[in-house]
Chain A
C-alpha cells in the first residue's frame, strides 16, 4: 500500500506520519473514531492471518492434521483442486481441460492488445480460440478421446459458458439495438417489446425454459445438448441488456455524425460500421464492462440446472465425508478464482476507459 505524497499549504512536503496525523487525528473526535477503527481493522487482519496462514495446514492429504488444527485446512485444496477446476472431466484427460482454460485466458489477454481492436481481428481471434477450446474439450478427433458435454465441469465449464455467451450475445445485441432504432415503427416496437419482456424475466427462469421446456417445442434437429440450449438462452438474455447499453451509446452521438456520413454518400452499413458503432461502443464502454463482469459471475446459476461449473464443483470437492468439514476453505478458493477473473476484467475496463478517453471527447 502506498501513501500518496502530501504537501502542506505552504508547499513544503510533509512526512507520511504528518499527513496521517493531519488527515485522521486532527480533532479529539477524529482521534477517537480513527483509533477505534484502526484497532478493529488490525484485530480483524490479525485473526485472518492467524487463521489463513499461522495456524493453517498446508500440503496434500493431511486430513487428520487439519482436524486437530485451529486454522484453515488448505490441505483440502491441495488434495481436491482438480475437481474444482475440471469437475467430472476424466482424470487422465484433465490436461486437455487445463490447456483449454489457458487458451481462453490467452485469447482474453490478446484481445486487450490494441492490434486486435477491430471487428474482424477480434472476431477471428475469439472464434479460433473458441474452436481450439472446443476441440480440446470435446475430443473425438486428432486421437483425442471424446468427452461429452455432460462431463465437462469446473472452471473450464464456467469459462466455456461465459465465452460462448459473449461471442453469441454481442453480435445479437448489436442486431437488437439496430432493430430497436429502426425507422419502421413496427420493427422497432416489436423489438422493444421483446427486449423489455426478456429483461423483466429472471435469468433463472430463462435458463430453465431453454434447458427443460424448449425441447417440447423445438423440432428434434434443433434441440441439441442441454448445455447449448442454456447458452443460447443466456446469450439472448445478455443480448437484451447489452442492446440497451449499445442503444444508449448510439443516442449519445450527435445527429450530425450520421448526417455527415450520409452527405458523403456512405450507405447504411458503412455508416453503422465505421461511424456509429465505434463511437457508440466507446460511449458505452463502462456499462459494457459492467455487463460482462455480471455475466461472468452469473454463470454460476447453471448449477441449478445440473451443470458442474466452478461453484458446483467446489461444493462437490468438499462434498465427501472425508472433507466435509473444510467447505469454508473450498469456498474461499472458489471466491479467489472469481476474484482474479473479475478483478482483472474491471482493471482492464478502467485501462480501456483511460486509453479511449471516455468522457473527454
Chain B
C-alpha cells in the first residue's frame, strides 16, 4: 500500500489553446486534509475534477491510491470507486428517493445486495442527521439537506478519499454550517479529504495544509497557521486580505 492517496506530478491541462493547469505538483498523504483555495478561474475546480477524470489532463502523471490515471478504463473506474465526490450543485438524482440515491451505486458498482446497501445507507443518512428523509425525493429537501444527502451518497460507496468541489457555494448562508459540521465530523474520523472551498474558517479548523492556486498554478502551500499568519507570496497576501478583509 502506498503512503500517498494522491500524487500529481508535472500535470498540464488545456482547453483548446487555453492552458488551464500549469505544471501542477501535488501530494496528498493518506488521512491528510487539504483545502484548495484561490480566486475564481484559478483552476481549483478543474484540478479536483482531473483527479477522478471528470476532466482529462494532457500531460504529466496523476496517481490515486496507487492506481495510475491513464487511458485504461479499468483504472478510471477503480479510481472513481475509491474517490467519492461532492459537487457544488449537489447533483442528486431527482427521479429517485433519497434512499435510492444512496443505494444505487453500491448495488450496481460494488454489487452489494439491496438489504445490505439499505442498511449502510441508513447508517450514513443517520450520520448526516437526516435518516427521516429517506423516502422523500431530492426536490422536497432544502439545499443544505440535499448536500448532506450528497455526502452520504458518496460515503455509501465506502471511498478511500473524498473530493469536495465548492460544497457550500450554492447554499443559502444559514445552511452552510450544517454541511460544514458534517465535513468536520468526517475529518475527525480520519477521512482523506481534498476540499475546494472559500470557507477559511473550515480551512483553519480542519486542514492539515492549505494550497493556494492562481492562474492555473499552485502558488503556495503551507499549514493553516503559517498560511494565514505568514503568507509568503504577494498574490496570496492580496487574496487573503480580500477574503478575510471584512
Contacts and interface: CB of A to CB of B under 8 A. Distances in A.
Interface of A: 254, 256-257, 259-267, 270, 274-275, 278-279, 282, 360-361
A266 B105 contact: yes
Interface string B89-119: 1011111000000001100110000000000
Contacts of A275: 93
Nearest to A263: B85
B89 A265 contact: no
Would you list the 4 A-B pairs with minimal beta carbon distance, nearest first? A260-B91, A264-B105, A263-B85, A256-B91
Contacts of A282: 95
A260 B108 contact: no
Contact of A260 (B83, B87, B95, B139): B87
- Chain B contact residues (Cβ within 8 angstroms of A): what range? 20 to 34
Contacts of B154: 263-264
A361 to B, nearest CB: 7
B108 A270 contact: yes
Given A256-B89, A270-B108, A274-B108, A263 B94 contact: no
B77 A361 contact: no
A259 B80 contact: no
B80 A274 contact: no
A264 B80 contact: yes
A4 to B, nearest CB: 30
A262 B54 contact: yes
B19 to A, nearest CB: 23
B70 to A, nearest CB: 17
A265 B85 contact: no
A361 B108 contact: no
B149 to A, nearest CB: 12
Contacts, number: 64
B84 interface: yes
B87 A259 contact: yes
B46 interface: no
Nearest to A274: B104
Contacts of B105: 261, 264-266
Contact of A361 (B81, B104, B139): B139
Nearest to B82: A265
A259 B54 contact: yes
Nearest to A275: B93
Interface string B129-145: 00000000001000000
A361 B138 CA distance: 10
A286 to B, nearest CB: 17
Contact of A264 (B53, B94, B157, B163): B157
B109 A265 contact: yes
Given A263-B87, A265-B109, 19 more contacts: A256-B87, A256-B89, A260-B92, A260-B93, A262-B54, A263-B52, A264-B84, A264-B105, A264-B109, A265-B77, A265-B80, A265-B81, A265-B157, A266-B105, A266-B109, A267-B77, A270-B109, A278-B95, A279-B94
B209 interface: no
B33 interface: no
Contacts of B153: 264
18 contacts: A256-B87, A257-B91, A259-B54, A260-B85, A262-B52, A262-B54, A263-B52, A263-B54, A263-B84, A263-B154, A264-B109, A265-B77, A265-B109, A266-B104, A266-B109, A270-B109, A275-B93, A360-B139
Contacts of A254: 89, 91
